[in-house]
Structure 1
Amino acid sequence: MQVTGAVRWVLRFEGLGLLGLCLLGYARLGQGWGQFALWFLVPDLALIAYLAGPRLGAWAYNLTHALVGPVVVLGIGLALAAPGALAVGLIWAAHIGFDRMLGYGLKYGQGFRFTHLGVIGRDKPSQPG
């Protein structure tokens, strides 16, 4: 099923909200924006797994683009009062928010273009069943 209309915009707005909240939190943490820029795109290294096929690519992408990972890292950072872990968790979650804002959702094994937010790309084929 393709996500359309108001629901699609609500989901993208949630991504924008997550990105904004993470940027605010990171600014308050005071770790430096060079570090933020350096690590912001690291989760996209999972795209390399698509070279081994769409199923493995989707699995690797979803592993690095689900909010469970950054939430665990943030929880550890809070529990241990570890600013480094907090920084990593905020950067990671900001990346996910940015992707969701742009419409890049978690992937299905049929290929990179098939996401939980709908099919992405210019010539959108029908959604996998």
Structure 2
Amino acid sequence: MDTSFARQWLRLEGLAVLAASLLAFRATGFTWGWFVALFLAPDLAMLGYLAGPRAGAWTYNLVHTYALALPLALAGYATGVHVPLGVGVIWCAHIGFDRALGYGLKSPEGFRFTHLGKIGHDKPLRPAEAG
């Protein structure tokens, strides 16, 4: 089954989430320095790969779904507490950015295997390595 069409839609969806998150962050009144400082924080979940591919995929996927980020942002909005709102919006922006670039949820098979397809390039062997 060719899934390239679905992957493109998921990437566009990620771009839309990123754009909406940027607009939402702008409305929070936080300075953009906070956005820059926290934008890559969800990627610290990759440290789970130090415990192996299964643990790494689990920790990475937990942090790279909207299941935690969106409720955090909504709770901040509903209660008027700005810190969870800002952090949740930045977190959603990060996830949207990753999806727009084609980085999906990871498989226990390895970091390069995602729900959006395989990432990275297979490096061809140099002649000295081939023989």
Same fold (TM over 0.5): yes
Count of residues paired in the alignment: 123
Give the 3 Å change call, closer, same or farther, for CA 114–2 of structure 1 in structure 2.
Answer: farther
Give the 3 Å change call, closer, same or farther, for CA 81–20 of structure 1 in structure 2.
Answer: same
Partner of 2:33: 34
The two structures, once aligned, show a CA RMSD in angstroms of 1.5
Partner of 1:3: 3
In 2, distance between residues paired with 1:9 and 1:116?
A: 12
* 1:27-66 alignment, distance < 5 Å: 27-66=26-65
* 1:1-129 alignment, distance < 5 Å: 3-4=3-4, 6-123=5-122
Give the 3 Å change call, closer, same or farther, for CA 55–2 of structure 1 in structure 2.
Answer: farther
* 1:7 Cα offset (Å): 2.0
* 1:118 Cα offset (Å): 1.0
Which has more radius of gyration?
Answer: 2
In 2, distance between residues paired with 1:37 and 1:74?
A: 17
Give the 3 Å change call, closer, same or farther, for CA 107–58 of structure 1 in structure 2.
Answer: same
TM-score if structure 2 supplies the norm length? Answer: 0.89
Contiguous gaps of at least 5 residues in structure 2: 124-131
SS of 2:112's equivalent in the other structure is strand
Aligned-pair identity in percent equals 53
